[in-house]
Amino acid sequence: MAHLLGSQACMESLRKDLTDLQGAIVDVFSRAGPVRFPSWKFPDRVACDLDMVDLLEHYDHVPGDPEFTQLSHAVLLELVIDRLLLLLQSCASYLENLGSEQMMPSARAVGPCMSVGLTVRRFWNSLLKLGMLYQQAAPQKKTKQGDAPTSKSTAKGEPAKSLERMTAKFFKPPSPVLGLPQTCQELESIPVRVSLQCPTMTSKNTKSIHSQTIETALVPCDACTSVQGSLQEVGKVVISLCQSQNLPSSLAQFQQLVQDSMGLRPLPAATVSHWAAEQSKDLMRLSKHMGTLSQLVSPLRTQLGEAEGQKAELKKQVDKLEQALQQKEGARQQQAEEAEQRLAEWEHDKQHLLTEISDLKMKVADLDRELKQQQESMQAVEAKAKQLQEESERRVVAERQVQQLEEQVQLLAGRLEGASQQICWASTELDKEKARVDSMVRHQESLQAKQRALLQQLDSLDQEREELRSSLDKAEAQKACVEEQLQDLKGEKEQGWCQLRAQQEMLQSLQREKQGLEQVTTDLRLTIVELEQQLVELRERERLLVAFPDLHRPSEAQIQSRRPGVVGPRQHVPTDSGNVTDDMEKQVKANDIRIQVLQKENGRLQSMLSKIREVAQQGALQLIPQDQLWSLPSKGTQGAASPVQAQRVSP
């Protein structure tokens, strides 16, 4: 059997068996209600609450992973045992309900954890009880069939009723389907009772008459009331969920209408179907809301996972650094211990040499050669002492270097924390700037055509913001590289600080540009307001000039009008508003406007005269004879008159 472990065919067969077992369990649950016992495979969970679809999707045959495939095969075998136990428990509960004349019991608490043997024995005991009840009902059924031809009245005795209840209990139809009329459900049970009332052997003279009893009356059944009660409970839960999520509930309005109209009476089939439709609408609304919430939460979870991964990497790097420092400290301690041992040996040798020197001094006269040898040994010992002193000095320097390295590590950790805080602050400021820029873009869309240039500047600002974000991403990547290369320490850290400063300068420049754009928008608005005011004033002046023209014509026009055959220009009569003072005030305003125009024209002419005089004084002005001036075509006069007319019309 070991070679079959992980076989795809065996696993497919087990999956089909699990599907069939789950279908049978659901059928039993529809008749007897769900039983709540701990799962054999997962003791911490209830067996009826296991999601078999997710389990079958997870534990499947994987071609490239034989270990997981074998594990899935074993788990599927355990799930088959779990489903078989649940089926036996539900069947035993159904048999107990038959014995207690209760098809759909009330909600139960979670039962005790039962072994395989105890479950099988409980099921067998329930089956034995059912067999005993059937054996007790069999002779009563035979006596009922013998007495059936003689009985013609509709009223029956207690034994017949007990037999009918017993047979109806054994042959009771399935639980009613949601939305099925109650009359159809009651009519389905009539043929069973009628067939029990008819004898097996009827004579030709006898005649069977179907009669309605109390049991076959068209009244609401217990299953319908329980189904409607559960439907109302589910509706309350759905309404509470909608209210907790601040969502509109169509079922709440329909429930209020049903309660006002029906009260506590059972609902008809159409109302139940309408109830189910409204409830499905609320469930769809809740599912959409949960989908949007999951879409909002999923990027946050990914960001949290990335942050946790970065945190774990940083912890690993810090642990590595601590281990390296500990190893260095251990090596230095070993060196210090070795130096102390050498120093102790040197002191011991020194004492021994002193004793030998005292002996040699006593024997100086006799042992000159030995004295020379001892002097050489003393020189060697002094060299060793110098070496030991140098090693002790090196040890002190090494300890100082260790302290300096520890201080540098602490400084780098503080700088790293400051850099991470500055990056977080920069990201938050960037998000705020993004929100502000978006609001400015939405506001600028409502402006007129004159502000399109400003919109282009805002688009360029948005592009710079995207470039800033890309640069920020690059800075984060550079930060990760800096964190991975902590052993290089100073050089790369200074580069990271320079990059952060550049980013801060870019942010400051972006803020300055934003302030400049805001100032430009305010200036544009002020100019628009001023131009509108000037336009209103110009329109008022034009209206005054049109309504109140010049009352005094030039002398040339009067002379031409006196000539015979010459018709002068029509004199515009001011419009009469009915109020003489108002008309006179408006006429005065029109005359003031004309005076201002003439003063401006006089100023221009004076400036031109001054320029002509200056040119004449310099001698660069050419004098044109008078006859040439008079011989010029009338185009010049027309061209000279046109600016005056334009000036007169322009106010």
Max CA pair span of the chain: 172
- Where does the pLDDT of residue 81 fall: very low under 50, low under 70, confident under 90, or very high at 90 and above? very high
Q: Is the pLDDT of residue 136 over 60?
A: yes
Selected residue with higher pLDDT from 289 and 542: 289
For the ranges 5-14, 181-190, 212-221, which has the lowest average pLDDT?
A: 181-190
- Summarize the confidence of residues 483-489 as an average pLDDT: 71
pLDDT tens profile 321-355: 888 888 988 888 888 888 888 888 888 888 888 88
Which has the closest alpha carbon to 107: 65, 154, 57, 46? 46
Which has the closest alpha carbon to 195: 124, 141, 119, 255? 141
- Where does the pLDDT of residue 156 fall: very low under 50, low under 70, confident under 90, or very high at 90 and above? very low
Q: Is the pLDDT of residue 168 over 80?
A: no
Q: Is the pLDDT of residue 312 over 70?
A: yes
Query: Token pair 């946050």 is at which residue?
Result: 300
18 vs 73: CA distance, rounded Å: 12
- Where does the pLDDT of residue 164 fall: very low under 50, low under 70, confident under 90, or very high at 90 and above? very low
Selected residue with higher pLDDT from 559 and 295: 295
Average pLDDT of the chain to the nearest whole number? 73
Write the CB contacts of 85 (distance below 8 Å, at least 6 apart in sequence). Answer: 40, 47, 114, 116, 119
Query: What residues are paired with 522 via a beta bridge?
Result: none
116 vs 122: CA distance, rounded Å: 10
**Residues 374, 376, 378, 381: is their CA dihedral positive or negative?**
negative
- Where does the pLDDT of residue 648 fall: very low under 50, low under 70, confident under 90, or very high at 90 and above? very low
Q: Is the pLDDT of residue 228 over 60?
A: yes
* E strands present in 556-646: none
pTM of the full predicted structure?
Answer: 0.27
For residues 294, 296, 298, 299, the Cα torsion angle rounded to the nearest 10 degrees is 170
- Summarize the confidence of residues 211-226 as an average pLDDT: 53
Write the CB contacts of 218 (distance below 8 Å, at least 6 apart in sequence). Answer: 182, 183, 186
- Where does the pLDDT of residue 363 fall: very low under 50, low under 70, confident under 90, or very high at 90 and above? confident
- Where does the pLDDT of residue 452 fall: very low under 50, low under 70, confident under 90, or very high at 90 and above? low
Write the CB contacts of 116 (distance below 8 Å, at least 6 apart in sequence). Answer: 40, 81, 85
Q: What is the pLDDT of residue 393?
A: 86
Which has the closest alpha carbon to 39: 134, 105, 115? 115
529 vs 408: CA distance, rounded Å: 62
pLDDT tens profile 578-616: 678 888 888 888 888 888 888 888 898 888 888 888 888
